[in-house]
Structure 1
Amino acid sequence: MTTHFISAEIDLTESPAELPKAIEKELEKRGEPLRWAVSEVDKEREVVRVEAVVTQED
């Protein structure tokens, strides 16, 4: 098992309550998320930048 630091851009959702679910769904494509944080919000492009630590099976 290895850990990786990744950055991802996620489209903003219409409902703020749905944003964490959208982030976790995207991160799960890259591994098992251990922790994540929104590091930037781009209102013009309607995306958020997320930094995360994920684990992947070797």
Structure 2
Amino acid sequence: MTTHFITAEINLQETPIQLQQEIEAELQKRGEPLRWAVTRVDSDRQIAQVEAIVTVESDTEVSL
């Protein structure tokens, strides 16, 4: 098992719960999230930047 630092851009959602669900779904595609944080919001583009630490099995590659 290895850990990876990743960043992702997520479209802002109508509610905080929907945003959290969208973030968690995107991170699951890249591994098992250990922690994550919204580090920037671009209100003009309606995008949130998320930084996360995820774990993946050693034989699985992560495409960034």
TM range (shorter): over 0.9
User: How far apart are residue 14 of structure 1 and its match?
Assistant: 1.3
Structure 1 runs of 4+ with >3 Å offset: none
Gaps in structure 1 of 5+ consecutive residues:
none
Q: Which has the larger radius of gyration?
A: 2
User: How far apart are residue 33 of structure 1 and its match?
Assistant: 0.2
Q: Deviations over 1:35-56 (max 9, x none)?
A: 0000000000001000000000
Q: Percent identity?
A: 62
**TM (normalized to structure 2)?**
0.87
User: How far apart are residue 17 of structure 1 and its match?
Assistant: 1.9
**TM (normalized to structure 1)?**
0.96
Gaps in structure 2 of 5+ consecutive residues:
59-64
Which structure: greater strand fraction?
1
